[in-house]
């Protein structure tokens, strides 16, 4: 087994973040996951799955409340994770939100929610974890981006702007850490089969008002992909598992896409 690492995964009880946490806990790493919601049934079940994976693979897991829009919450979460496992070797910024809304009529509150979570929240987590990584001469930071970073999408200005900004942040962090054994990359998938995708599709079909179902929207997206399918969270997790290893030390300041050949 590779060296046992101390890992933080934001958004670790749902979607891509949960798949990453499952993979790494099952490989024996010590994983602290952050989530805004810890008490709903789906989140409790997700943490149960993490516990089982850790027990099977020799890892450890911890779940704690984390609100990326609140600097005090970020500070407290990182302090508790450090107290439990020590300073993070690996940070995976997987938490994210989206909303279907054109620029016309876009509320300030909705814009701030998306930008604060997807971009500023990642910045706050990196700012908290980077100094210890540089001090120890080793670190891996992976930001979950999106094809939205480079391809526009109707009615998604805040989400597209947040992911484009995250790509810029990724490049700057990579340069800051390069001389100290710290890498930073952004993994940008197309549509991924997650609860966030389901929620987004529900918003899309509701705004269309054409009577199309979410299932029909999913089938159309799969048919439009050159591989005729929707990417699975486990595929993203597998790539991240490689990127945090020593074999990937030369991969930094990059945007790595998982699209099945799709542009979006």
- The catalytic residue positions are 159
**How far, in Å, are 21, 93, 212, 225 from residue 199 at the CA level?**
22, 20, 15, 20
* Alpha carbon 74 to its chain's center: 16
Beta bridge partner(s), residue 62? 32
* Alpha carbon 178 to its chain's center: 22
Q: Are 112 and 91 in contact (CB under 8 A)?
A: no
CB atoms within 10 A of CB 40: 12
Q: How far apart are CA 194 and CA 244, in angstroms?
A: 23
Q: How far apart are CA 205 and CA 216, in angstroms?
A: 9
What letter does residue 84 receive in the DSSP assignment?
H
């Amino acid at each position: 087994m590779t060296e046992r690492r101390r890992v933080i995964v934001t958004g670790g009880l749902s979607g891509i973040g949960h798949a990453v946490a499952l993979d790494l806990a099952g490989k024996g790493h010590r994983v602290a996951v952050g989530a805004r919601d810890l008490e709903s049934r789906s989140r409790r079940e997700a943490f149960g799955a993490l516990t089982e994976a850790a027990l099977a693979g020799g890892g450890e897991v911890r779940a704690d409340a984390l609100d990326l829009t609140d600097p005090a919450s970020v500070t407290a979460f990182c302090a508790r994770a450090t107290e439990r496992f020590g300073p993070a070797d690996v940070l995976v910024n997987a938490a994210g939100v989206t909303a279907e809304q054109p620029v016309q009529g876009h509320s300030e509150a909705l814009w701030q929610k998306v930008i604060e979570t997807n971009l500023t929240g990642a910045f706050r987590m990196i700012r908290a974890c980077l100094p210890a990584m540089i001090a120890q001469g080793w670190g891996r930071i992976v930001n979950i981006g999106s094809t939205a970073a480079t391809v526009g999408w109707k009615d998604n200005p805040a989400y597209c702007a947040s992911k484009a900004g995250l790509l810029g942040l990724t490049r700057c962090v990579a340069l800051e850490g390069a001389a100290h054994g710290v890498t930073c990359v952004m993994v940008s998938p197309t549509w991924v089969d997650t609860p966030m995708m389901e929620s987004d599709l529900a918003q899309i079909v509701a705004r269309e008002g054409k009577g199309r179902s979410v299932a029909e929207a999913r089938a159309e997206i799969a048919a439009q992909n050159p591989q005729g399918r929707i990417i699975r969270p486990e595929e993203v997790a597998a790539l991240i598992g490689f990127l945090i290893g020593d074999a990937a030390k030369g991969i930094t300041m990059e945007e790595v896409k998982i699209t099945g050949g799709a542009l979006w």
